Amino acid sequence: MSTSKANERRARRLALDAAAVREFERTIEGGGVAVFPADTVYGLACSPTDQAAVERLYEIKGRPPAKPSAVMFFDRDRALTELDFLGERTRRACERLLPGGVTLLVPNPRRLWPLACGPQPEVLGVRVPRLEGTLAPLAGARVAVLQSSANLSGASDVRSLDALEPAIAASADLLLDGGELPGTPSTVIDLTEYERSGAWRIVREGAVDAARVAELLDG
């Protein structure tokens, strides 16, 4: 890499503040791929409606393109507005669980954001992170993103930018530095049957343990 390109890459690593969040929005809206901090681990993000950007994100990560991801909102109210088709019971579950370190699998009868859904367009993964402390500026982000963890497929999750795989750092358009993160990925909860029967299941336990999920959903 030439010196000028290296300097340009370093200039794209930004400390997380309001100005960096505006740059994050411009990157996503312009079809780019960004590395950003969430309340769990660092993630890769792009527009959920831009097929070329999604394909590039998957290529950077080495992830099979048919594998589903999630759509992340940075504000719960906006998420629930976009998901206005959810039944009342499922909506209340989302209100209890979000924001937080969970990914919710919810019914998607309108088949929105199919690029995030893999082979099941009628099921959507939804994330709304809890943005406190150094992560608080991200709460002002006005874009929804398709997101996946910022590691090579099958590798360990990334809790700081310094631990980011060099190939990912060199391929992304923007690196947002939110410091060191907890390092445990989100808990994935299947709510696709919750509206009908109240049934739910944990697909992957992570940042929020099963007992806490049960307290919020069954309590």
pLDDT at site 124 = 98
Q: Indicate the SS3 state at residue 100.
A: coil
Does this model's pTM top 0.85? My answer is yes
pLDDT means per 10 residues, the chain with 219 residues, are: 40 90 98 98 98 97 93 97 97 98 98 96 98 97 97 95 95 97 97 97 98 94
Residues 6+ apart with CB under 8 A from 201: 189, 190
* CATH of region 3-218: 3.90.870.10
Q: Locate the domains of the chain by residue range.
A: 3-218
Six-digit token string for 88: 């009342």
pLDDT at site 22? 98
